Each structure stands twice: as structure tokens, then as C-alpha cells.
Amino acid sequence: MSGVLTRWNGLKLEEATEEILPCCGSKAWAAGMAERRPIQDETMLLTASDELWGKLGQAEWLEAFRSHPRIGELRAPASAAARSAAWSSEEQGKVSAADEEIKIALADGNRLYEEKFGRIFIVCATGKSPVEILGILVRRLQNDERTEWREAAEQQRQITQLRLKKWLQS
């Protein structure tokens, strides 16, 4: 068992919930993860996360989405934990280095997405170029509401998986 899991398994429920919250942004998810302790290894952690995420509803998904800055914005929402904000900045690192034309297109796409779906655009940006992200945004603007909920939730699931792995390495 990793040292992070050993220590986390020994925390009080509220402390364990607060510590893992930046990995997802949903308080219900974080509380559910803390309640599942003890968690023995990375595989068990990632499996528990996926199972729990799949049982949450749109309100919890929205809460997680709101913990992220818009693609192309460096500032995370005030409600985001410092660790979550740092991870977001790292995950979007390539976007911050994009040329102005791409940044403007992403800002316009974000606005259109929010007008259509009423929430911010969520994408697992790790490893993706700004042009790839823009292409994904343009494609997803064509989705219907139901399809986009599923796709956004899947992107958040992927982000959470990556962050859990980072957390274990901290």
C-alpha cells in the first residue's frame, strides 16, 4: 500500500473527504470515497472512483465541473481548492502557450457551449494540443443535451483518474 493511502485511510472521515476532494470536485464523490476506506492500492482506488462517479447524478457532476476553470483560462473558480487549481493549470499548460487565434476561438467556443448547455465545457486536456481541444469543442457543440451530459461526465471521470494517480504520487 502506498504511503499516501496508508495515511489517508487513517484520517477522520471529514479530513479524508477534504483531502481527496480536489481530485474530482464533487463533495458527494469525495465523501463516498472516504466512506469506502480502507482502500488498499491504486487499482482499488480507481475502481471505487469509477463506481461511485457512475452512481452520481447531474447535480454532483455540475459541482465537479464547476471546480475547473474554462479551457484557456488560468484562474480556477474561487471555490476550487489550491491543489485542484494547480492541477488545472498543469493540465491546460499547452493551451496557455497557444497562439492568440486559437485562444480567441476557444473563448468563443466556450461561450457558445455555455449558451447551449448552461455549463462550462469539460475536456480531459492532458496530452492534447490546443488545436485538438478546439476540434473536440467544435464537435461536441453538435451533441444533443443527453449525449453531451454523458460525454462531459466521461471527461470528468478521466480527469479524476489522472488526478488520483497524481495524488498517490504526492
At residue 125, the 3 state secondary structure works out as coil
CA 136-51-170 angle, 5° bins? 75
Percentage of the chain modeled with pLDDT above 90: 79
Q: Over the stretch 78-112, which tens digit does the pLDDT of each residue have?
A: 555 676 656 766 666 667 778 999 999 999 999 99
Distances (CA, A) of 149 to 62, 106, 116, 152, 154: 10, 20, 12, 5, 9
Query: How far, in Å, CA of 138 to CA of 119, rounded?
Result: 15
| pLDDT score of 91 | 63
Query: How far, in Å, CA of 15 to CA of 83, rounded?
Result: 15
| pLDDT score of 71 | 87
Domain count, the chain: 1
| pLDDT score of 92 | 66
| pLDDT score of 96 | 73
| pLDDT score of 152 | 98
| pLDDT score of 97 | 74
Cell 465537479, residue?
Answer: 64
Q: Which domain holds residue 48?
A: 3-169
The 3-class SS string of 61-96 reads HHHHHCCCCCCCCCCCCCCCCHHHHHHHHHHCHHHH
Please identify every stretch of the chain with a pLDDT value under 70, giving residue numbers as ranges.
Answer: 74-81, 83-86, 88-94
CATH code of the domain in which 116 resides: 1.10.3330.10
